[in-house]
Amino acid sequence: MKNFLKILLVASGFVMTVFNLKAQEKDMFNSKILVVYFSKIGEQYAVGNISEGNTAIIAQMIASKTGADLFEVKLQNDTYPKTYKALTEVALEEKKTNFRPEILGDVSNFEDYTTIFIGTPNWWADMPMALYTFIEKHDWNSKTVIPFVTHEGSGLSSIPSKIEKATNAKVLEGLAIYGHVAQNERQNAEKEVDNWLKKLGL
Ligand SMILES: Cc1cc2nc3c(=O)[nH]c(=O)nc-3n(C[C@H](O)[C@H](O)[C@H](O)COP(=O)(O)O)c2cc1C
């Protein structure tokens, strides 16, 4: 009888473990992923006049590889200069004054997403202020955030910790990728994205 009870206990433990693993798998499968990004067309450093932004290219790659939804953060009133040098000056002023531009539209079902990629160009070692406008509109409690940054030499800078501070969310390892690689060397960019997603287990 004792042995029978032991076997019953071990067997029920095994069934519970399998049940829990299945539930976790289901959670992962059901979890919705969002890619939020900001990106700029027009004249950009090292790539000339572009009609598709560097960060937008990476955002689309991530979305198609992970099945994520995409949301582009755009200005309600886009008065940004179309030339690179002038844009850098306006952006620096906005950073210094901690400006929050109005943005167009919103993600209506934000609460449904558990994992959110935030994609940004590196602007003066920071994000364009419009991404802070987006971040501050939402509740990031219990979200997992994954940053990606396009740049021309500065890499991630301290953008992941700025995102962590602004969201208070769990922030996973970010990807830094050269803007000109995203724009002109798609296969190389894709390899970098693939390796990174693999490391993240996505
Ligand atoms: C306003 C502004 C500031 C920038 N500041 C930096 C910088 O500090 N470090 C850097 O590596 N690249 C900097 N860049 C280059 C961009 O990060 C890079 O070109 C990026 O890929 C642009 O992405 P997008 O086409 O998605 O907007 C800056 C570009 C702009 C327009």
pLDDT of residue 149: 99
CA of 85 to the centre of ligand 1 (A): 11
Protein residues whose CB sits closer than 6 Å to any atom of ligand 1: 39-40, 44-45, 53-56, 84, 87-88, 91, 121-125, 150-154, 179
Task: Indicate the burial class of 18 (C-beta count within 10 angstroms; 0-12, 13-18, 19 or more).
Answer: exposed
> What is the pTM for the complete model shown?
0.88
Kindly report, residue by residue over 5-42, the tens digit of the pLDDT.
565 556 656 555 554 544 444 444 457 999 999 999 99
Kindly report, residue by residue over 130-175, the tens digit of the pLDDT.
999 999 999 999 999 999 999 999 999 999 999 999 999 999 999 9
Q: What CA–CA distance (Å, rounded) separates 195 from 202?
A: 10
CA-to-CA dists, residue 8 to 4, 17, 18, 19, 49, angstroms: 6, 14, 15, 16, 70
Name the residue with higher pLDDT: 13 or 104: 104
- Closest CA relative to residue 123, chosen from 5, 2, 32, 40: 40
CA of 152 to the centre of ligand 1 (A): 6
**Size of the chain, expressed as the number of residues it contains:** 202
